[in-house]
A and B are shown apart, each in its own frame.
Chain A
Amino acid sequence: MGSILLFLGGLAVIGTWWLSRQGLASKPWLEQGAEGALPEEAPAPPYRVGLLILLAVIGSLFALFISAYAMRMQLPDWRNLPVPRILWLNTTMLALSSLALHGAKRAAERGEMPELRAYLLAAGISALAFLSGQLLAWRQLSGDGYALAANPANAFFYILTGLHGLHLLGGLVALGRTTDKAWRETTTERLRLSVELCATYWHFLFLVWLVFLSVLTGWAGGFVDICRQWLT
């Protein structure tokens, strides 16, 4: 359960930092009046906060899967499965997609509509390429005899890539709606938040993918071992 505790620990640090700025030590019965009680800064759009919390939930989901992976991995019947080459291409695709959305966000801020549209399209296409690549990886593995039930390593691979893909699909629905809107609007003003949220979500899924890839290739395990040796 190490990785989920680490993840929750990180959240706890953020939460504590945030709470420490909320005046939890104040004595509310001594303070009256509406002024001065609330910081007058405009609150962040709820959608942005909502997305951040959703990311915490998804993060906790994947951290739990990785915890389960790490625990199951220690049992003797575990046989690592080979990393299909195509995963590296897929990683590149997802990176490009994430980069394109970053570009889209910048373009939306600068108000350049044609550029924004191009970036959105690029992001969508490369994300689709990533998903198709993942399907190819599945076919390749099952063709090579790495069946789902043959070994827990295989099962974890299919479940985790599948779940990650589903989350990306959900993101694609949102991206599709944003892209659609980009063709109907004339200024980027009303698109800015949507594009920003998509970009955040994409970066996050890319990060999750990198973490998963490092677990899959054994780099994460190696890294943990190095840390352990270094500590003892």
Chain B
Amino acid sequence: MVDVPLGPAGAVAPSDLDDVELYHPHSWVTKYVFSQDAKVIAIQYAFVALSVGLIALVLSWLMRLQLGFPGVFAFIDASAYYQFITMHGMMMVVYVLTALFLGGFGNYLIPLMIGARDMVFPYVNMLSFWVYFLAVLVLVASFFAPGGPTGAGWTLYPPQAILSGTPGGQDWGIILMLSSLIIFIIGFTMGGLNYVVTVLQARARGMTLMRMPLTVWGIFTASFMALLAFPALFVGAVMMLFDRIFGTSFFVPAIVEMGQPLDRNGGSPLLFQHLFWFFGHPEVYIVALPAFGIVSDLISTHARRNIFGYRMMVWALLAIGALSFVVWAHHMYVSGMNPYFGFFFATTTLIIAVPTAIKVYNWILTLWRGNIHLTLPMLFALAFIVTFVNGGLTGLFLGNVVVDVPLSDTMFVVAHFHMVMGVAPILVIFGAIYHWYPKVTGRMLNETLGRIHFWVTFLGAYAIFFPMHYLGLMGIPRRYHDIGDMAFVPPSAHTLNAFITIVALVVGATQLLFVFNLFWSLRHGRLAGGNPWHATTLEWQTPETPPPHGNWGKTVPTVYRWAYDYSVPGADQDFLPQNQPGITSVVPGASHG
């Protein structure tokens, strides 16, 4: 339950306060532990999310070892394997990607990019992180609970998820998982309210919506979607907890489990799937939209060119956000739901491809006739486009109802969503970290390590997931602990699996190099200065780097222009910061070809 925000009448949000009026912490604990500064909270979020990411990475190694070399590692039995895939999936989707994009980048960038001193509800913001941290603890606790974590797959489909044939189904695993999700959603609601209201109410003077960088647009839209979509998961989780603990029959029909009739009646497994995917599909875009926004800014900054078709980019973002609420059942084409739904959901799903394609075109048209600096953030942005286009296009297979029939529940699906929702957003996260690390720490990340990290990650991830599509096309189902003997699977497929595993191990190990770089450069990185990339957006114009609590020193900036005045003809340098009033340039009309 989120407390109703209260304050004295005419309360002024911290974002509007003068710096002297802002409450500054004095002790180490209030400054770094229970901090109310969005930037500190952002780093806390990022640190916890990246740690969870490392756990998920190790889990992916273990499952890949089993798939590549079945039977060699005896400790990865079927139970353990299903527990690994479940925890890997749920951790990555919810606790890493959602938390990192919204809690991490959202907290750091929103106030800085819109010219605010802080989030509007700093106390709630602090609570949000600690509730998230509690959710992570509960989730991780399930590794140590009797029976281990749940092995129901990250989709947690009942009745399987709460029965004894599934690891953790009749133990603590599923209970801890559902509880953790409920806690996460409560925490996220606190954070999400902050992100949305801060963008709405705390923008600096002159910062109209259409002057906001696309990063802010992306995070704003995604937060709003998350606020409305997460309740669906909340409802599903609460109802399943009741089914599991109190023996209600929301999702469990009359069934016979291992020869024993259960005392349940009439429940609907499909009801859970509807609720789950009503959250689950927007969730894909909750991860994707911030990535879209961030990558737009990376490309624009490092190609020294305004983002092409800014208005179209904003409209497309909003259209994708709205449409994503009416496509959920494309995850359920072969679920046994009313088959006539297929017509509707295939159509909406393929319609959503159009605004998404517009975004891709505008990214590459931003490169066109640009002045491309192949910096690390730019490299990651380019890699994002390749992997996102690849994963997006295979989405057209799976969204097109009848094409989905042979491909669903095969490795094709695994390859598709890893490419589009795993690799692509993670590449953006890396690019964003290389881009904003100098602002956060005042130092650049090591370039050589960064380039090794980039090439291995990009080419390796592509080599993992591109061939995997063909295993699925061949018919190998997903979530198989052991493929075993199937007449239609040639020995070469097993070789391919082993190859994928080896590449995955190498790519995973390279991420440790990145983690090392994060810590090493803290001390030894090259000093960055306030605006190393010559970027226009406000976060690069702070008087101090890293920005202190309150961000702006004495006066909050005033905004005079949009976020993309790069290479404006007639200007004396190739970028005009948003808070620079002087117009040294003649701005030509937009309409000429």
Question: What chain B residues lie within 8 Å of A112 (beta carbons)?
Answer: none
Q: Does A227 contact B (CB under 8 A)?
A: no
* Chain A 168-190 interface 0/1 with B at a Cβ cutoff of 8 Å (1 = within): 01110110011000000000011
Given contacts A46-B197, A49-B197, 15 further A-B contacts (CB under 8 A): A4-B232, A24-B210, A25-B311, A26-B208, A30-B587, A38-B205, A46-B121, A56-B228, A57-B192, A72-B267, A75-B267, A78-B266, A149-B247, A152-B249, A194-B7
**C-alpha gap A78/B266 in the complex (Å):** 8
Query: Could you say which of A60-68, A90-98, A213-221 contacts chain B?
Result: A60-68
Q: What does DSSP make chain A's interface, helix, strand, loop or mixed?
A: helix
Would you call A37 and B268 a contact (CB within 8 A)? no
Would you call B196 and A152 a contact (CB within 8 A)? no
Q: Does B560 contact A (CB under 8 A)?
A: yes
Would you call A57 and B227 a contact (CB within 8 A)? yes
Given A38-B208, A46-B121, A152-B248, the answer on whether A75 and B325 have CB atoms closer than 8 Å is no
Q: Does B13 contact A (CB under 8 A)?
A: yes
Min distance, Cβ A93 to any Cβ of chain B, angstroms: 20
Min distance, Cβ A189 to any Cβ of chain B, angstroms: 6
A190 in complex: contacting residue of B8, B13, B202, B310, CB < 8 Å: B8
Would you call A49 and B564 a contact (CB within 8 A)? no
Q: Does A23 contact B (CB under 8 A)?
A: yes
**C-alpha gap A169/B2 in the complex (Å):** 11
B558 in complex: contacting residue of A34, A45, A148, CB < 8 Å: A34
Can you list 29 pairs linking A and B with CB atoms under 8 Å apart? A8-B228, A8-B325, A28-B210, A29-B564, A29-B565, A30-B587, A32-B560, A32-B587, A33-B206, A33-B581, A43-B201, A45-B7, A45-B13, A51-B5, A53-B227, A57-B189, A60-B232, A64-B235, A72-B267, A76-B266, A155-B246, A155-B248, A166-B1, A169-B1, A178-B6, A190-B10, A192-B9, A192-B10, A194-B8
Question: What chain B residues lie within 8 Å of A170 (beta carbons)?
Answer: 1-4
Given A57-B231, A71-B274, the answer on whether A50 and B310 have CB atoms closer than 8 Å is no
Query: Could you say which of B135-143, B314-322, B421-429 contacts chain A?
Result: B314-322
Given A38-B208, A159-B238, the answer on whether A4 and B4 have CB atoms closer than 8 Å is no
Question: What chain B residues lie within 8 Å of A22 (beta carbons)?
Answer: 208-210
Q: Does B333 contact A (CB under 8 A)?
A: no
Q: Does A12 contact B (CB under 8 A)?
A: yes
Q: Does A125 contact B (CB under 8 A)?
A: no
* Chain B 228-268 interface 0/1 with A at a Cβ cutoff of 8 Å (1 = within): 10011011001100100011111000000000000001111
Question: What chain A residues lie within 8 Å of B193 (beta carbons)?
Answer: 50, 53-54, 57
Question: What chain A residues lie within 8 Å of B266 (beta carbons)?
Answer: 75-78, 152
Would you call A47 and B250 a contact (CB within 8 A)? no
Q: Does B330 contact A (CB under 8 A)?
A: no
Question: What chain A residues lie within 8 Å of B436 (beta carbons)?
Answer: none
Among residues of B, the one whose C-beta sits closest to the C-beta of A74 is B268
B6 in complex: contacting residue of A4, A167, A194, CB < 8 Å: A194
Would you call A177 and B202 a contact (CB within 8 A)? no
* Chain A 123-167 interface 0/1 with B at a Cβ cutoff of 8 Å (1 = within): 000000000000000000000000011001001000100010011
Q: Does B207 contact A (CB under 8 A)?
A: yes
B560 in complex: contacting residue of A34, A49, A56, A155, CB < 8 Å: A34
* Chain B 168-202 interface 0/1 with A at a Cβ cutoff of 8 Å (1 = within): 00000000000000000000010011001110111
Q: Does B271 contact A (CB under 8 A)?
A: yes
Would you call B268 and A193 a contact (CB within 8 A)? no
Q: Does A107 contact B (CB under 8 A)?
A: no
A198 in complex: contacting residue of B4, B203, B318, B564, CB < 8 Å: B4
Given A64-B235, A75-B266, A193-B9, the answer on whether A29 and B590 have CB atoms closer than 8 Å is yes
Min distance, Cβ B223 to any Cβ of chain A, angstroms: 10
Q: Does B120 contact A (CB under 8 A)?
A: yes
Question: What chain B residues lie within 8 Å of A12 (beta carbons)?
Answer: 322
Would you call B322 and A68 a contact (CB within 8 A)? no
Would you call B274 and A37 a contact (CB within 8 A)? no
Q: Does B301 contact A (CB under 8 A)?
A: no
Q: Does A19 contact B (CB under 8 A)?
A: yes
Would you call A71 and B268 a contact (CB within 8 A)? yes
Q: Which range holds the interface residue count of chain A?
A: 35 or more
Min distance, Cβ B282 to any Cβ of chain A, angstroms: 10
Q: What does DSSP make chain B's interface, helix, strand, loop or mixed?
A: loop
**C-alpha gap A11/B231 in the complex (Å):** 15
Question: What chain A residues lie within 8 Å of B239 (beta carbons)?
Answer: 68, 159
Min distance, Cβ B527 to any Cβ of chain A, angstroms: 32
* Chain A 1-33 interface 0/1 with B at a Cβ cutoff of 8 Å (1 = within): 100110010011000000100111111111111
Q: Does B84 contact A (CB under 8 A)?
A: no
Question: What chain B residues lie within 8 Å of A47 (beta carbons)?
Answer: 5-7, 11
**C-alpha gap A207/B197 in the complex (Å):** 24
Q: Does A104 contact B (CB under 8 A)?
A: no
Q: Does B498 contact A (CB under 8 A)?
A: no
Among residues of A, the one whose C-beta sits closest to the C-beta of B203 is A38
**C-alpha gap A12/B200 in the complex (Å):** 17
**C-alpha gap A76/B326 in the complex (Å):** 28
Q: Does A209 contact B (CB under 8 A)?
A: no
Question: What chain A residues lie within 8 Å of B210 (beta carbons)?
Answer: 22-24, 26, 28
Question: What chain B residues lie within 8 Å of A120 (beta carbons)?
Answer: none
Among residues of A, the one whose C-beta sits closest to the C-beta of B190 is A54
Q: Which residue of B232, B268, B565 has the most chain A CB atoms within 10 A of its CB atom?
A: B232
Question: What chain A residues lie within 8 Å of B454 (beta carbons)?
Answer: none
Q: Does B449 contact A (CB under 8 A)?
A: no
Q: Does B83 contact A (CB under 8 A)?
A: no
Question: What chain A residues lie within 8 Å of B231 (beta carbons)?
Answer: 57, 60-61, 64
In chain B, positions 66-86 with a C-beta closer than 8 Å to chain A are none
Min distance, Cβ A133 to any Cβ of chain B, angstroms: 20
Q: Does A197 contact B (CB under 8 A)?
A: yes
Q: Does B61 contact A (CB under 8 A)?
A: no
Question: What chain B residues lie within 8 Å of A4 (beta carbons)?
Answer: 232, 278
Would you call B201 and A46 a contact (CB within 8 A)? yes
* Chain B 274-304 interface 0/1 with A at a Cβ cutoff of 8 Å (1 = within): 1100100000000000000000000000000
Would you call B208 and A28 a contact (CB within 8 A)? yes
Would you call B268 and A45 a contact (CB within 8 A)? no
**C-alpha gap A120/B231 in the complex (Å):** 31
Q: Does A206 contact B (CB under 8 A)?
A: no
Would you call A1 and B274 a contact (CB within 8 A)? yes
Given A27-B311, A72-B268, the answer on whether A32 and B242 have CB atoms closer than 8 Å is no
In chain B, positions 464-519 with a C-beta closer than 8 Å to chain A are none
**C-alpha gap A76/B198 in the complex (Å):** 48
